[in-house]
Structures are given as structure tokens and as C-alpha cells.
Amino acid sequence: MKRLFILIAVLFIVMPITATAASDFPTKSITYQIPFGPGGQSDLEARRQQPLLEKALGVKVVVQYKPGGGGSIGWASLIKQKPNGYFISGINIPHIVLQPLARGNAGYETDQLKPIALFQATPIGLAVLKDSPINSLEDFIAEAKKNPGAITCGGSGTWSGHHIAHLQFGKMAGIKMTYIPSKGAAKSVAAFLGGHVKALWANSNDLVQHADKIKVLGFGTKAPFANMPDVPTFESKGYKLYASIDRGAGAPPGTPDAIVKVLEKAFLEIASNPDVIKQMRKDGFVPLAMGAKASKEYIMKKISVWEPVVKEFKK
């Protein structure tokens, strides 16, 4: 009985402190981790958000990088941080789902990451350089069948959205290609433009940015991509390949909902800003504005979608 009274007393002491901490949050600078190298989409969006987050939250926001393992090194670090809202990280779908499924031990489990918001998507496309003799998806497939494994395709990371699109398309088209991963989208694009690979699986904004140097053969979308409406979808060519990278922010497991709510409000204010939306679309991004609850539900659905796909290619 005495122990029970002590426990109740402790709860009454701790609960007000936790509530007060949440109501005062934030009171110091926040670290915003990017689990990829600088220059990629996650970095570009974090840098766009940085001054707006600082204005909304009233504290300094410090962007830092922890690339490697298709994002898994950064997310393994995230789950070890104190759950107080002062350390958050960019999260990418399907990466946060694929890494634990494919690696077995990625250093974290998908459900350990506590979503704050999802704010952006980039459809994935397949491209070749402007001077390539390949001019269409049909040409690409014919060349791959003629010389199995000879076409090298760049992409961001292993067991990433790019890698899984590569594997899926190879199976659908009955072709063999060679996938060359890079630590982040920026490095994979640089390798491609430098002629180190023959083709590239890339995010829509990179393809828009370098449109004058490349030929985009197909997009993994249901409808034509608005910035490049003349590029066919894979589906329109008979391949049910749907590929996109969704980006957001997440917190360590155990972060109080009240603190997540403060961060969610700031991210959604930015995601709903007309100027931000306009600039995103111009740059080749697809704006999103999903809160913590909706983001969590979306991620859980993606686990059921990707689990059988990973099992298929791990055989």
C-alpha cells in the first residue's frame, strides 16, 4: 500500500512537469537532421523550411547531415535521441519502410519513428543523357535485351525508392540492368551527368532542373507529370510501375503528443503557404500537407504494400 501511495505521488509530480514542458516548448534551438548528403531534395526542402520554421517556432533551427545506408544510419540515430522535440529528422517514404524490411537490422523499426508531418512528394522517372542513342522506353528495353546487364542505372542508395523501381521495372520488362547506388540524389545526378552511368532513376525536381541535358523516358505516375506532360507514364506503356518519394519530418519514439503538435503546426503552416506551394511546383515537386495522424496511417499502409515486394526481390 505504501508503494502505491508513492507511485501516485510520483505521477502527480511528473505529469504537471511534462505538461509544463510541452506548453513551454520550444525554448532552445532544434536540430533538424537530414539522413542524406547535402544538395538532395531532403536538404533543399529543409533549407527552404529553415527560416520559416524559425519564425513559426521562435527558436533557431540547425540543419545537419547524417548520410548512409539509404537513410538508415540517420534514422537509427534518431531513435536514440531524447524524446523532447529538440532533435527531429527528415523521413522519406518508402525508404523508412524498405530499409528495415530489406536489411533485417537497419538499426531501427519503421514504427519507432514518430511522424510529425508529410509535406512533399517527387515522382520518380527514368532518364538518359541528351546525346544517348536511346530515345524512348521501347529503345531502352530493346537495348537492355540486346546487351543484358550492360546498361548501368544510377540511383540514390540501396533499398531506396530508386532501387526498388529499378528492380520492379527490370522484372516487368523482362530485362537485366546494373544498378549503381550513390549516397544521396545529388551524387547520383552528378555521376549521371558526368557520364559515369548510362541511365538514371531520379526524382522529378532533378529531372526538371536538368531538362536541357537529358531525355526522360518515363514517369512512375498514374497521370502525366505536370511539369513534363509529354513524357509517358510507365503505365501508359503497359508497365504498372508507380514510384515516388514522399518526404516529411519525424521525431524520436516517446516524444509527447503535445510537443509533436507544436512541430506539426509549424510544418503544416509552411506546407500550406501559397508562396511555398508555388515554388515547389515550379521546381518540380508535388506539395503535400499531411499531419501526424494522417502521416502515421499512410506509413502503416505502405508497410503492407512494400513488404511482399521486398520479400520477392530478396529471394
Are 81 and 156 part of one and the same domain?
no
Do 290 and 150 belong to one domain? no
Radius of gyration of the chain (CA): 21
Q: What percent of the chain has a predicted confidence (pLDDT) above 90?
A: 81
Greater confidence (200 vs 36) lies with 200
CATH number of the domain bearing residue 70:
3.40.190.150
User: What are the pLDDT digits (tens) for 44-78?
Assistant: 999 999 999 999 999 999 999 999 888 999 999 99
Each residue of 213-227: pLDDT tens digit?
Answer: 999 999 999 999 999
Q: Is residue 7 part of a domain?
A: no
Average pLDDT score over the chain: 92
Query: Mean per-residue pLDDT for 236-265?
Result: 97
Residue 302 included in any domain: yes
Nearest Cα to 108, choosing from 251, 245, 247?
A: 251
Q: Does residue 303 belong to any structural domain of this protein? A: yes
pLDDT in tens, 149-182: 999 999 998 899 999 999 999 999 999 999 999 9
What pLDDT, on the 0 to 100 scale, is given for residue 12? 44
CA distances from 33 to 46, 77, 84, 285, 299 (A): 9, 10, 15, 21, 20
**Does the pLDDT value for residue 246 go beyond 80?**
yes
If asked whether residues 213 and 231 sit together in one domain, one would say: yes
pLDDT of amino acid 121: 95
Q: Are 170 and 223 in a shared domain?
A: yes
Q: Per the structure block, which three cell numbers stand in for 7?
A: 507511485
18 within domain boundaries: no
- Where does a domain end: 207, 237, 267? 237
C-alpha cell at 222: 498514374
pLDDT at 14 over 70: no
Residues 54 and 94 in one domain: yes
Are 151 and 186 found together in one domain?
yes
* Same structural domain, 79 and 227: no
163 and 188 housed in the same domain? yes
pTM of the model: 0.85
Domain span including residue 46 = 27-118+246-314
Greater confidence (17 vs 35) lies with 35
Tell me, yes or no, whether 2 lies in a domain: no
Residue 66: all three cell numbers together: 547524417
pLDDT band at 184 (very low <50, low <70, confident <90, very high): confident
Same domain, 94 and 156: no
Least reliable range by pLDDT among 26-30, 41-45, 107-111: 41-45
pLDDT of residue 229: 96
Do 140 and 223 lie in one domain? The reply is yes
CA-CA distance, 166 to 298, in Å (whole number)? 23
Residues 210 and 278 in one domain: no
Over residues 88-146, the pLDDT tens digits come to: 999 999 999 999 999 888 999 999 999 999 999 999 999 999 999 999 999 999 999 99
> Is the predicted pLDDT of residue 85 greater than 70, yes or no?
yes
CATH code for position 202: 3.40.190.10
Query: Does 19 reside within a domain?
Result: no
Domain end position, chosen among 178, 213, 237: 237
The answer as to whether 229 is a domain residue is: yes
As for how many domains the chain has, the answer is 2
The domain boundary residue, chosen from 189, 205, 237: 237
d(CA 51, CA 258): 23
SS3 284: coil
Q: Is residue 269 part of a domain?
A: yes
pLDDT at position 21 over 80: no
Check residue 22 and give its pLDDT: 66
Which pLDDT score, from 0 to 100, does residue 205 have?
94
Q: Do 179 and 38 share a structural domain?
A: no
